Structure 1
Amino acid sequence: MNCVFDIDGTICFDYMNVSEEGTQLLEKLEEAGHHVMFASARPIRDMLPVLKERYRNYTLIGGNGSIISQNNQIVDVCLFEPTLLKSIMEVLEDESVVYLADGKWDFSYNGDGVMKLIVLEAEDMNRVHDRLSDLPVSFYRHESTDTLDILAFKTSKYDVLKRLGIDDYIAMGNDVNDIEMLDHANPGIMINFNERLAPYADYQVDYDEHYLNTILEIIENHKKTV
């Protein structure tokens, strides 16, 4: 079975390393014959230092679905069309927001194109969202940091899984950008509690001393029912 993991808040809790329990979880699932994949809001370049050398050849879905790496090679990037990017930038500049433009490998706004824009600060984040809503883009509002991710329309972790032909999978995540992925998973496991994500998860697991065994038990018991 394919096991798709979000990273931050799911197996990494310090923004730098996969936790000891997360590492054990990945190892035990692979020992049981599962195929591990990763899907994160991070671009690929920021996933690699966390995942270390061992997982570089795995399927990595970065930028909430805007970039895919397999066998340590970028195989697909979903960039904004130039005219759409121009329209977005006009709104951002008019609102005088603080933002990052994420390119294929670097933070950039150059000839390589832009795959994701991250609004870090705005006088009125709701107004920015509303002004961009008429454009063909996808949004992810991170309430914990009050930031806004802007991607090309119909770009998500789940959309990438569909494009890769992965219909049957187990997924673990913790934030609103995991909603679609967990909603279509079998099962979808929410790590800690997120009010907006909860309706789409089959199970909820706290990151505590029971984290590892609870997840393994859920997967084992769920396997017996399908």
Structure 2
Amino acid sequence: MQFVFNLDQAISYDNQPVSLNLQYMFDFLKDNGHQLIFTSTGAVRNMLLKLDRRFHNEAMISLEGAVICKEGALEQLSTFDQMDFETIQQLIEKYDATFLMEGEWDYCYTGGDYHAIAPTVDPAKLGQNVSLKKVGPISHITILAADGIEDMRLELSKQGFNVQSKGQENPQLLITPKRINKWHALQKLGVSEKNYVAIGSDLTDLAVLEHAEHASMIGFTMELAHYAESRLPNDEKVEKHIIDKCYELSKKYTV
């Protein structure tokens, strides 16, 4: 059985490395014949920092499904086409927006050194902050700030882009190419419907939980509840809840 974990706040908190207890659980799953798949809204270069080296060759889905990594090889599944990218650029100019645009590995960041996101863009300096001309095809865009960010979100939505608003006090916009999600990426990795276990916690996990044999939701998100066979309390013992559930499911789906 394949076990799919969302690294963002579900397994790794505040961009910290995965704990030793969870790493031992991953080892247990692998020793019992299961496969691991990690997902994130962030780039692969930052996913690597959260995982011990022994897990770096596991399958990964980054940037909400736009890029996958299998046995260390990157593949961009979806990028903004020229027309869509020009539309976004026009809106960036219109709303005087700052942004983070992610390519396959490198990126273009205009938020400055003092933006809250700056320390997390590329903390290990594995990639390069390059110009838009050099970054290559773009798979994910984060609008960090804009003059009228809600109006910008509405315009992007009307154009048919996948747009999510993140944060309350200083909201950001997460934009992905049309017709892309983590379930599409799982299929590209050879995962079939009802043939995997999923542990998720936010709306980016919706399609993943929907097609899982067993979906486990951390905390409570209304949109995910319909697809979740089990719910893990997001309390001070959340890590233990995750480990116990994975041990239980490992036995249930013995390879």
> Normalising by the residue count of structure 1, what TM-score does the alignment of the two structures yield?
0.88
Give unpaired runs (5+ residues) of structure 1: none
- Per the alignment, residue 119 of structure 2 pairs with none
- Per the alignment, residue 204 of structure 2 pairs with 177
Larger RCO (alpha carbons 8 Å, 6+ apart): 2
- Per the alignment, residue 164 of structure 1 pairs with 189
Separation in 1, partners of 2:97, 2:75: 32
1:8-27 to structure 2, matched below 5 A, reads: 8-27=8-27
Contact 2:41-2:62 within 8 A present in 1 as well: yes
Please report how far the alpha carbon of residue 120 of structure 1 lies from its aligned counterpart in structure 2 after TM superposition: 2.1
Distance 1:215 1:125, change over 3 A: farther
From 241, 244, 249, give the equivalent of 1:211.
Answer: 241
Contact 2:22-2:243 within 8 A present in 1 as well: no
Contact 1:187-1:222 within 8 A present in 2 as well: no
- Per the alignment, residue 122 of structure 2 pairs with none
Q: Deviations over 1:126-156 (max 9, x none)?
A: 3222201233432233346732211111111
Asked whether 1:140 is paired with 2:164, we answer yes
- Kindly, what percent of the aligned residue pairs are identical? 24
Distance 1:212 1:151, change over 3 A: closer
RMSD between aligned alpha carbons?
A: 2.2
- Per the alignment, residue 85 of structure 2 pairs with 85
Q: Deviations over 1:29-60 (max 9, x none)?
A: 22222111111111111111111311221111
Separation in 2, partners of 1:24, 1:192: 23
Please report how far the alpha carbon of residue 162 of structure 1 lies from its aligned counterpart in structure 2 after TM superposition: 2.2
Separation in 2, partners of 1:64, 1:131: 21
Asked whether 1:154 is paired with 2:184, we answer no
Distance 1:179 1:44, change over 3 A: same
> Normalising by the residue count of structure 2, what TM-score does the alignment of the two structures yield?
0.79
- Aligned to 2:79, what secondary structure does the other structure show? coil
Distance 1:147 1:89, change over 3 A: same
- Per the alignment, residue 59 of structure 1 pairs with 59
Separation in 1, partners of 2:79, 2:15: 26
Separation in 2, partners of 1:221, 1:56: 25
Q: Deviations over 1:49-87 (max 9, x none)?
A: 111311221111111111111111113342211221010
Give unpaired runs (5+ residues) of structure 2: 109-131
- Per the alignment, residue 128 of structure 2 pairs with none
1:91-102 to structure 2, matched below 5 A, reads: 91-102=91-102
- Aligned to 2:197, what secondary structure does the other structure show? strand
Please report how far the alpha carbon of residue 165 of structure 1 lies from its aligned counterpart in structure 2 after TM superposition: 3.2
Contact 1:12-1:22 within 8 A present in 2 as well: no
Separation in 2, partners of 1:223, 1:73: 29
Please report how far the alpha carbon of residue 105 of structure 1 lies from its aligned counterpart in structure 2 after TM superposition: 1.1
- Aligned to 1:110, what secondary structure does the other structure show? helix
